[in-house]
Amino acid sequence: MSRLIDAYDAAFFDLDGVIYLGPLAVVGATGALAGLRELDKKVMFVTNNAARSAQVVIDQLNSLGFQADDHTVLTSAQVAVTHIARELPRGAKVLVSGSASLAALVEQAGLVPVQTAAERPDAVVQGYDPAMTWPRLDEAALAIQAGARWYATNDDASRPTERGLVPGAGGAIAVIAGTVGGQPTIFGKPFPPMLAEAVRRTGAEHPIFVGDRIDTDIVGAANAGMDSLMVFTGANGKSDLVATEPGERPTHIGADVRALLEPPRTVQVEPARASCRGQVARADTGTVRLDAVPLTLDAQLDALWAITQLVWDDPALDCTEALASLELVG
């Protein structure tokens, strides 16, 4: 029986909500990653979270039982600073509206991190910082109005944690955008530079991206011309999946990253009917109905994949009751 990963030479993973939730590893993730290494698949952890240095991420992954090093972890901060250093002359001033680790990367790249608009920075770079303050946002807005170039590591609206969703870097970007107008140049998912760098570093020819967020992970994979696996351990769930538009839709779905080592879900679609591994969804007078309520998580995901295909073909269908019966799916 073929595994989903058999069609790919590499797997790229988002971290928050996919590999871990705050300080905790997602159930089954360590074993799945070990299984991929046994199959000699290339692995890279690709995170939009720019608040922490790559080494801190590496240390956390290793402490949770994963194998990680400089070659397998890529942050949006690293990608952003690499590109910014190519565009600005050495010694240029950059107002860092982000974490200390982002400022350190700016300095290591031969640029000068500053904190105030009065220092007349050549650029502003925003990144997630849990200690962000309004006065620091003021300085970023003032610097941009004075002519500084505007960059951002990523624009995630939220971050999944073990306690639930919390605001992400996108909130701080929205504050500045609402003040000065326009948008920054953004490097993290779903924008192409992030996954392009992952491909360059790994030499992957046919990778798959695994993520929990549609707006960053799944759309990012699509923008990179890459297949994707959506998992249900983080930010987005069944209703989000069904509501996606073309260009936002995953190639595969699974409960968690262990789906890579399992057979891929396939759907047989007929007029007003879709089936996936024995789970059947039907379109009946404008409503999607299941032949039977599936009881296990795997069966509910099969049913969800069947429902999804019907609704994607006909968005006017009402699948509210069918989705409500899938209680085990996020």
| Other CB atoms within 10 A of residue 111 CB | 25
Give the whole-angstrom CA distance, residue 299 versus residue 256. 14
Active-site position among 6, 9, 16, 313? 16
- The separation between CA 16 and the C-alpha centre of its own chain, rounded to angstroms, equals 8
Active-site position among 14, 129, 212, 240? 14
**Nearest Cα to 213, choosing from 287, 152, 158?**
158
| Residue position matching structure tokens 């070659």 | 71
In the chain, count of helices (H) and strands (E)? Answer: 11, 19
Dig out the tokens for 109 from the structure. 């790249």
Give the whole-angstrom CA distance, residue 63 versus residue 137. 34
Dig out the tokens for 110 from the structure. 């031969």
User: Is residue 67 within 8 Å of 41, Cβ to Cβ?
Assistant: no
**Nearest Cα to 140, choosing from 105, 192, 102, 86?**
102
Dig out the tokens for 29 from the structure. 């993730």
Q: Catalytic: 16?
A: yes
CA 88 to each of CA 18, 100, 101, 189, 190: distance values in angstroms, whole numbers, following the listed order: 35, 20, 20, 23, 24
Q: Catalytic: 14?
A: yes
Active site residues: 14, 16
